[in-house]
């Protein structure tokens, strides 16, 4: 492992993780709204926002699955050192990190059970850019409808149809984050 791969955790963990948690919570409460999320300097190819999310949300009780090129020794070492989260297979993951292509098919991730819909995976999707134009979102947390550039529409419509089961999504790019919970309705334009 590269010695530098362990750098880039929160310098002031209590304040930075509280701030990051607030950004993540606001993003989830207002689907499609883009929040700033900074403070972490994870190894490539992870974005700073994804690093801060993982530092804030993951611990030894949340298995994390790495997909595609995010499954590399630097990222594994960094996550293990800073959070202690076990690296898991897709079927038992609480969190999943990857880009949209590497996350397919979504059906391999846990979507919860009728008794425990919360036992589902949260997907952290690394995006080339976040933009507020594109698919139309509506539902809880959105007053009149908002736009957000999703990688595709059909998967999110299928996911919303599973409600109360389903996956929740964070979209990250650089130091920006947006979210799409399972309760949001998605319409293509």
Partner 1 sequence: MADDASRKHWMSLLSKANPQDLAHLWAEVSMGVEFSFLRTPEVGAIMVRGRAGATGAPFNLGEMTVARCSVQLQGGEIGHAYVQGRDKTHATQAAVIDALMHTDKADTMREHILDPLSENFERARAARAARAAATKVDFFTMVRGED
Contact residues for partner 1, defined by CB under 8 A: 3-4, 6-7, 9, 11-13, 81-82
For 54, phi then psi, to 5°, come to: -70, -40
For partner 1, give the closer residue by CB, 61 or 118.
61
Nearest approach, Cβ of residue 12 and partner 1 (Å): 7
Nearest approach, Cβ of residue 80 and partner 1 (Å): 12
Nearest approach, Cβ of residue 4 and partner 1 (Å): 8
For partner 1, give the closer residue by CB, 25 or 81.
81
**Bridge-partner residues for 170, per DSSP?**
124, 179
How many Å apart are CA 26 and CA 82, to the nearest integer?
24
Measured in whole angstroms, the distance separating CA 121 from the mean position of its chain's CA atoms is: 9
For partner 1, give the closer residue by CB, 12 or 152.
12
For partner 1, give the closer residue by CB, 14 or 101.
14
How many Å apart are CA 92 and CA 88, to the nearest integer?
7
Q: How far is CA 19 from CA 74, 83, 118, in A?
A: 25, 17, 24
Nearest approach, Cβ of residue 7 and partner 1 (Å): 6
Would you say 32 and 147 are in contact if contact means Cβ atoms under 8 Å apart?
yes
For partner 1, give the closer residue by CB, 83 or 159.
83
Nearest approach, Cβ of residue 81 and partner 1 (Å): 8
State yes or no: cis peptide before 45, omega within 30 of 0: yes
Q: What is the dihedral of CA 92, 97, 98, 104, to 10 degrees?
A: 30
């Amino acid at each position: 492992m590269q010695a530098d791969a362990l750098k880039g955790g929160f310098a002031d963990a209590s304040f930075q993780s509280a701030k990051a948690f607030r950004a993540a919570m606001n993003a989830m409460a207002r689907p499609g709204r883009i929040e700033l999320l900074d403070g972490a300097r994870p190894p490539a190819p992870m974005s700073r926002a994804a690093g801060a999310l993982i530092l804030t949300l993951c611990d030894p009780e949340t298995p994390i699955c790495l997909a595609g090129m995010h499954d590399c020794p630097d990222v594994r070492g960094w996550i293990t050192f800073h959070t202690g989260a076990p690296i898991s297979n897709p079927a038992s993951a609480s969190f999943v990190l990857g880009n949209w292509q590497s996350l397919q098919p979504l059906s391999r991730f846990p979507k919860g059970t009728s008794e425990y819909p919360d036992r589902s995976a949260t997907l952290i999707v690394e995006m080339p850019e976040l933009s507020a134009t594109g698919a139309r979102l509506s539902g809880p947390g959105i007053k009149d409808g908002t736009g957000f550039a999703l990688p595709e529409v059909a998967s999110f419509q299928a996911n919303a149809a599973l409600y109360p089961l389903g996956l929740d999504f964070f979209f990250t790019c650089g130091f920006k984050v947006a979210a799409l919970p399972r309760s949001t309705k998605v319409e293509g334009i």
